[in-house]
Homo-oligomer: A and B are copies of this chain.
């Protein structure tokens, strides 16, 4: 909703080298749905902490999103998220399942509860990022008002 129908002037700008535009963010979220969250949940449930998660490529979308429109990516993400939520509910996780342990390649032991919480926060982080990156496009047009908006300096 935040991104539907906007021009590329808004959605293709980023915050400098190795940062994401709103377009990149949506590709990154798609890659996470396809390769990260679900497979890590599965690994915790099937292998516990006997095997480390596959490291996540934070820049894969630069290649994977090529040639696609933002509208296509938004539709793709929406579909994947619906499927993954359906799958997650189908697991019928119990309270004590949330304490099951997995092994993160950098962070070491993590619980399923921590993984699920991080999935939520990851979304919210990227929503905030999209809002911030778009806000910065207007910085030059705001005149003296800029000083009231600390977000523009992040």
Q: Residues of A with Cβ closer than 8 Å to B?
A: 1-2, 104, 107-108, 110-111, 113-115, 117-118, 120-122, 124-125, 127-129, 131-132, 134-135, 138-139, 141-145, 147, 149, 151-152, 154
How would you classify the secondary structure of chain A's contact residues: helix, strand, loop or mixed? helix
Q: A142 to nearest B CB, angstroms?
A: 5
Total copies of the chain: 2
Contact A107 B145 (CB under 8 A): yes
Contact A114 B135 (CB under 8 A): no
Contact A138 B121 (CB under 8 A): yes
Which residue of B104, B129, B145, B147 is within 8 Å of A144 (Cβ)?
B104
What's the Cα separation between A127 and B128 when bound, in Å?
A: 7
